[in-house]
Amino acid sequence: MKRVLIFLLLLLHGCAFHDFPSYEDAAHSKFIEANYAAVDRLVESSSEPLDTGTPMVVATLVCVDDLNASSRLGRSISEQLGARLVSIGIPVTELKLRGTIFVKESEGELLLSREVRSIARNHEAQAVLVGTYSVARNFVYVNVKIVSVHSNVIIAAHDYVLPINSEIKVLLSTSTRGAE
């Protein structure tokens, strides 16, 4: 009986402490790595050279089921794609600071292909990075494209997959509060 009581006390003691992630865990997150690799693949496979002196526009990735909406996942991926472009020397126009594009507060910079020429003219961009994602049972399938603003032609495209882990689930949720 005494052993059972000790076991139960140890079990309860262990449950009282949460196993929170560490900075080391964060440094090994594959989420940013996957998004950065997608940009690298896009740039490498582009059928037209990308000019490091002319900015690009990065649109918020949208859910393929509703092209007029996004999630924190779509907005987070877009931010990381833009960051990677800048880190490899391709300037990105920050749309959130401009007044000429309609930005929905909870949805980010939504961009449909028919708007590419108008956006490019207003922002003097060479290309637009657009994308969609599809949510399946265990994975999120992501498609990203670079569209030339001069021809409206896709000059690079890449598909990749993210696992639906606890972090991705939170980013997919409609709440803007984050993890509970």
14 assigned to some structural domain: no
Number of domains in the chain: 1
Task: State residue 51's pLDDT score.
Answer: 92
17 assigned to some structural domain: no
Task: State residue 79's pLDDT score.
Answer: 95
> Which residue did the predictor score with more confidence, 96 or 37?
37
180 assigned to some structural domain: no
167 assigned to some structural domain: yes
Task: State residue 85's pLDDT score.
Answer: 98
Cα gap 66→62, rounded to integer Å = 7
Task: State residue 137's pLDDT score.
Answer: 94
Confidence of residue 28 (pLDDT cuts 50, 70, 90): confident
178 assigned to some structural domain: no
* Adjacent-strand bridge partners of 41: none
Cα gap 14→87, rounded to integer Å = 43
7 assigned to some structural domain: no
Note the pLDDT tens digit of each residue in 117-132.
576 667 789 999 999 9
129 assigned to some structural domain: yes
Per the structure block, which two tokens stand in for 110?
């939504």
Q: What is the CA radius of gyration of the chain?
A: 21
Q: What is the mean pLDDT of residues 34-44?
A: 97
Full residue range of the structural domain in which residue 153 is found: 22-172
* Adjacent-strand bridge partners of 154: 147
Task: State residue 76's pLDDT score.
Answer: 95
Task: State residue 78's pLDDT score.
Answer: 95
| The model's pTM | 0.77
**Amino acid code (one letter) for 21:** P
Count of beta carbons in the 10 Å neighbourhood of residue 59: 27
Per the structure block, which two tokens stand in for 152?
């409206």
Q: What's the CATH code of the domain at 97?
A: 3.40.50.10610
Cα gap 52→90, rounded to integer Å = 5
Task: State residue 7's pLDDT score.
Answer: 62
Pairing of strands 62-63, 139-148: unpaired
165 assigned to some structural domain: yes
DSSP state of 18: -
Note the pLDDT tens digit of each residue in 127-159.
999 999 999 999 999 999 999 988 889 999 999
Note the pLDDT tens digit of each residue in 50-107.
999 999 999 889 888 877 767 899 999 999 999 999 999 999 988 765 444 444 444 4
- What SS3 state is found at 62? strand
Q: What percent of the chain has pLDDT over 90?
A: 49
Task: State residue 152's pLDDT score.
Answer: 83
Per the structure block, which two tokens stand in for 169?
């689930």
